[in-house]
């Protein structure tokens, strides 16, 4: 029988450890009443309607589209996000009203004087320079308020580098640029603030976030959770498996690890604890599962859309390349919670306490149709913008099939508003990351750093990959996923490409390690959010999440060496690599948890680990050796399992 969950929760030492402030995490913004509340709603709804209009009827000129997008987002940021954590959340200070008006004025200047700006490109006026300085400062402040100090600090360092380039050592030196060159370049071109990152935010990302808001208003979040529990809740360790399934489903429409933890974890973590999982393990499972949502097709996180633009390939190709690694990740998580439950002797939730599968599917099947249609439309070659526009329309239409999911006018307006509110942090990160990209483009820093990585690694991929991994995780600990991908795609990915890694595999490599930073201590926000919900030690939860999500640290190395796992190669090679890697991640889970059919001895765990690495790496020789090692341990496990069953049967008869 499993140990009682109550003994591990309320009064445990772990529960007294200082935790991340979840209430503060979920209420970062101001909450107005009266005229200000109406003003915010009108701006947010107008922003969503603008993006829906351009999705259906065509985009404006790039600078215009991105500028209007940023006008909406920046005004909302200064209205909603206070300058400090201690600032009042129910009123608007005069200085934030001024900042919002300045952001609006900077955007209107581009719209009104667009033709003259284009004509005098390279010869900025004094007003261009002044407004350029003001707008860059506003972007830095907007990013600071929404995503913290780390990204603005990187952008400020980049600006300093652009100005003082002549004083830099060795390979990093360049001629240096004046303020009259730096700030108009950042403000009035599509290479700085309004660069590719903000362009992706202004087109694809906003619409997919809006799609998630519409799905949520129809009750899709509750349906995903109910479906996960109906499918897995009664099996061994059922609540943990439900956490994995529901988080992967939520992850298809959510680009935020922390938001995913808070949404699904409030249901799954208490249930995991109730059947006997340790609080820190319950929080870690939810964190690792939620983080995987950013690499789970078809939607993935915002970084995937930027990757498609950078690589110059259709988004569906990026999503397809991510499919096998993401599936391997979730199979590994599923296996880990299953083996953990076996080791602890845990059972599932009684069937009578769970939602019925048939009833759940009948109640919410229509909520899965938009996701299926989205995949089909993307596969058929339609643009992501058109695909998501019609998917949103389909979601609204299908909601009327059931009274409980019906999209009323109030829900419709709320979805439009929620979509805009959810998009502001991504937009701020993209605008600020654009500053870094602008400096890299202006100074040629990307090529120089790629040369440094190649030089430091002495041209050996075996050294370049760990260096890139460390850079990705370190940046990932401080930056949002979108921003860290933008920075790494310009600074680190080119080095891997120069060393022979296919571009898709190189960019997927840095994305993976940027994403898993959300569960990697010391700055592991998703893990700390899970720890807060579980009442567990934050650092212990973080390291357990790393242990559970270990497949995400191994698989990228494998597809960097042999890119079959990202669909580069023949069909036979891809199928074989996928099948052996699946066995490999299950073997990895057995090694970590020390259980397959029964408890594994140390030597068995070591063979499980070695077999996992050999099987995950594509190749006939490594696969054969891995299967031989796995077969030896499996025979031992079967023998030990049968012996334990005979012993148990004998005890019962006695």
Helix (H, G, I), strand (E, B) or coil at 223: helix
Among all chains, which residue has been given the structure tokens 């080119």?
A: 494
d(CA 25, CA 6): 27
pLDDT at position 275 over 50: yes
Write down the pLDDT at residue 13: 37
**Among residues of the chain, what percentage have pLDDT more than 70?**
92
More confident residue, 523 or 121: 121
Question: Mean pLDDT, the chain, as a whole number?
Answer: 85
Q: Calculate mean pLDDT across residues 32-50.
A: 95
Angle in degrees, 0-180, between the axes of helices 503-516 and 461-478, rounded to the nearest 10: 40
Neighbours of 21 (CB within 10 A): 12
Q: What is the pTM of this model?
A: 0.76
Encoded tokens for 542:
């973080």
Q: Transcribe 400-444 into DSSP letters.
A: TTSGGG---HHHHHHHHHHHHHHHHHHHHHHHHHHHHHHHHHHHT
State mean pLDDT over 203-214. 86
pLDDT band at 251 (very low <50, low <70, confident <90, very high): low
What pLDDT sits at residue 81?
Answer: 95
What are the angstrom distances between the C-alpha of 74 and each of 106, 135, 141?
A: 11, 10, 10
Give the whole-angstrom CA distance, residue 618 versus residue 253. 31
- Asked if residues 497 and 506 have their Cβ atoms less than 8 Å apart, the reply is yes
DSSP state of 601: P
pLDDT score of 97: 96
With a CB cutoff of 8 Å and minimum separation 6, the contacts of 98 are none
User: Cα–chain-centroid distance for residue 183?
Assistant: 31
Neighbours of 11 (CB within 10 A): 10
Give the pLDDT confidence score for residue 299 in this predicted structure: 66
Q: Quickly state the pLDDT bin for 12 (edges 50, 70, 90).
A: very low
Residues 6+ apart with CB under 8 A from 505: 496, 559, 560, 563, 566, 568
CA angle 512, 202, 386 (to 5 degrees): 90
* 286 touches 548 (CB < 8 A): no
**pLDDT, tens digit, for every residue of 61-73?**
999 999 999 999 9
pLDDT for 354 beyond 50: yes
Residue 503, pLDDT > 80, answer: yes
- Model confidence at 26: pLDDT above 50: no
* Residue bearing the bigger pLDDT, 141 or 301: 141
With 90 as the cut, is the pLDDT of residue 187 above it? Answer: yes
Residue 8 has pLDDT above 60, yes or no: no
Predicted local distance difference test score (pLDDT) of residue 560:
86
By the 8 A CB rule, do 319 and 300 touch? yes
> Is the distance from CB of 77 to CB of 422 less than 8 angstroms?
no
Q: How confident is the model at residue 533 (pLDDT cuts 50, 70, 90)?
A: confident
Whether 221 and 171 have beta carbons less than 8 Å apart is answered as no
Say how far apart CA 118 and CA 102 lie, in whole Å.
22
Is the pLDDT score of 506 beyond 80? yes
Distance CA 150, CA 484 (A): 11
Question: What ranges do the domains of the chain cover?
Answer: 569-654
pLDDT tens for each residue of 157-173: 999 999 999 998 877 88
Which tops the pLDDT comparison, 82 or 455?
82
Closest CA to 194 of 288, 98, 114: 114
Q: What percent of the chain has pLDDT over 90?
A: 35
Helix (H, G, I), strand (E, B) or coil at 314: coil
Cα–Cα dist 448/171, whole Å? 7
Dump pLDDT digits (tens) for 117-158: 888 877 899 999 999 999 999 999 999 998 888 889 989 999
Residue 525 burial (CB < 10 Å; 0-12/13-18/19+)? buried
């Amino acid at each position: 029988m499993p140990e009682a969950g109550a003994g591990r929760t309320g009064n445990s030492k772990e529960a007294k450890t200082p935790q991340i402030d979840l209430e503060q995490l979920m209420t970062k913004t101001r909450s107005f009443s009266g005229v200000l509340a109406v003003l915010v709603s009108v701006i947010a709804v107008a922003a969503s309607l603008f993006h829906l209009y351009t999705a259906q009827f065509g985009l404006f000129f790039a600078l215009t589209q991105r500028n209007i997008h940023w006008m909406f987002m920046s005004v909302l940021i200064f209205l909603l996000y206070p300058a400090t954590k201690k600032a009042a959340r129910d009123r608007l200070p005069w200085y934030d009203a001024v900042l919002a008006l300045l952001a609006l004025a900077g955007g209107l200047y581009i719209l009104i004087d667009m033709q003259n700006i284009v004509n005098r490109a390279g010869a900025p006026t004094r007003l261009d320079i002044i407004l350029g300085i003001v707008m860059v400062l506003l972007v830095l402040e907007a990013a600071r308020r929404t995503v913290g100090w780390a990204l603005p600090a990187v952008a400020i360092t980049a600006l300093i580098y652009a100005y003082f380039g002549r004083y830099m050592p060795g390979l990093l030196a360049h001629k240096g640029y004046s303020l009259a060159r730096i700030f108009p370049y950042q403000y009035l071109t599509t290479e700085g603030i309004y660069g590719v990152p903000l362009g992706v935010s202004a087109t694809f990302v906003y619409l997919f976030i809006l799609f998630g808001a519409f799905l949520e208003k129809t009750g899709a979040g509750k349906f995903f959770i109910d479906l996960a529990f109906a499918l897995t809740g009664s099996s061994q360790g059922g609540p943990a498996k439900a956490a994995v399934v529901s988080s992967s489903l939520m992850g298809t429409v959510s680009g935020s690890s922390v938001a995913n933890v808070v949404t699904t974890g409030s249901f799954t973590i208490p249930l995991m604890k109730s059947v006997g999982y340790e609080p820190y393990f319950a929080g870690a499972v939810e964190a690792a599962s939620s983080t995987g949502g950013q690499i789970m097709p078809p939607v993935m996180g915002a970084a995937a859309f930027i990757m498609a633009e950078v690589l110059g390939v259709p988004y569906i190709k990026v999503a397809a390349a991510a499919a096998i690694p993401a599936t391997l990740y979730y199979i590994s998580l599923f296996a880990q919670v299953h083996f953990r439950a076996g080791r602890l002797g845990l059972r599932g939730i009684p069937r009578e306490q769970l939602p019925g599968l048939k009833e759940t599917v009948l109640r919410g099947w229509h909520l899965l149709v938009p996701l299926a249609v989205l995949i089909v439309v993307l596969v058929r070659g339609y643009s992501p913008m058109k695909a998501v526009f019609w998917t949103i329309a389909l979601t609204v239409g299908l909601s009327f099939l059931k009274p409980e999911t019906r999209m009323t006018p109030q829900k419709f307006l709320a979805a439009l508003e929620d979509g805009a509110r959810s998009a502001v942090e991504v937009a701020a990160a993209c605008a600020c990351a654009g500053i870094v990209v602008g400096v890299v483009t202006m100074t040629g820093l990307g090529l120089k750093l790629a040369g440094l990585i190649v030089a430091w690694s002495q041209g050996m991929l075996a050294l370049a990959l760990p260096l890139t991994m460390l850079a990705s995780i370190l940046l990932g600990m401080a930056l949002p996923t979108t921003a860290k991908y933008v920075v790494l795609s310009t600074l680190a990915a080119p080095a891997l490409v120069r060393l022979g890694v296919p571009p898709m595999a190189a960019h997927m490599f840095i994305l993976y390690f940027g994403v898993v930073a959300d569960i990697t201590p010391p700055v592991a926000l998703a893990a700390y959010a899970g720890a807060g919900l579980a009442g567990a030690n934050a650092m212990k939860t973080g390291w357990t999440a790393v242990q559970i999500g270990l497949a995400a640290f191994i698989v990228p190395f494998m597809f960097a060496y042999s890119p079959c796992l990202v669909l580069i190669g023949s069909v036979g090679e891809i199928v074989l690599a996928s099948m052996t890697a699946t066995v490999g991640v299950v073997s990895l889970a057995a090694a970590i948890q020390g259980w397959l059919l029964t408890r594994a001895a140390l030597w068995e765990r070591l063979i499980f680990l070695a077999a996992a690495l050999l099987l995950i790496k594509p190749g006939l020789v490594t696969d054969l050796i891995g299967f031989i090692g796995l077969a030896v341990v499996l025979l031992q496990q079967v023998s030990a399992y049968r012996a334990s069953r005979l012993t148990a049967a004998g005890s019962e008869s006695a």
